[in-house]
């Protein structure tokens, strides 16, 4: 069928090597703002096209959309308050980002968690790792909202 061939050809052109994307030409300015009920964060502009953002009860999960389109989870990382009684230090890939204080004065650790296994489409490994590498810049833009305050680590 012509439509399937066109989609396959288009897919090959877009997703070869580093997803067929010139990694140096992406708009990396941090002007794409997303938020949950607790905080907002600024993402690189190119994430509007290439990332899936899922708000959770405790924060936000970030995914690489190209991997998801190819049947892989594509999880990049999460930023969330830690509300569990257990410590998060047992997690294999985490980083303490700072302290969130609720409008009622309760404090919580804000943490980054990331995957330990490759759960993305391996044809775009360079692109996926570029998105993952943006995390340290993204962390610097976290702002408490709705009465929550954030104090960075």
- Residue 63: CB partners within 8 Å, gap ≥ 6? 51, 52, 53, 54, 73, 74, 75, 76
DSSP 74: -
Task: In whole angstroms, give the CA distance from residue 32 to residue 15.
Answer: 24
Task: In whole angstroms, give the CA distance from residue 22 to residue 33.
Answer: 23
32-81 pLDDT, tens digit each: 999 999 999 999 999 899 889 999 989 999 998 888 888 888 888 899 99
Q: What is the pTM of this model?
A: 0.80
1-31 pLDDT, tens digit each: 433 443 444 444 344 456 677 778 888 899 9
């Amino acid at each position: 069928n012509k439509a399937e061939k066109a989609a396959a050809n288009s897919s090959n052109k877009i997703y070869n090597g580093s997803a067929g994307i010139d990694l140096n030409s992406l708009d990396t300015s941090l002007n794409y703002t997303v938020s949950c009920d607790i905080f907002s964060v600024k993402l690189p502009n190119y994430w509007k096209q290439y990332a899936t953002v899922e708000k959770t009860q405790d924060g936000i999960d970030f995914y690489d959309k190209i991997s998801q389109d190819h049947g892989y989870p594509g999880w990049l990382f999460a930023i969330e308050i830690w509300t569990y009684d257990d410590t998060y230090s047992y997690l294999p890939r985490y980083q303490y980002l700072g302290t969130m204080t609720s409008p009622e004065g309760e404090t919580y650790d804000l943490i980054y968690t990331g995957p330990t296994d490759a759960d993305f489409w391996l044809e775009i490994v360079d692109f996926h790792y570029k998105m993952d590498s943006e995390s340290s810049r993204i962390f610097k833009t976290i702002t408490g909202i709705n009465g929550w305050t954030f104090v960075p680590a």
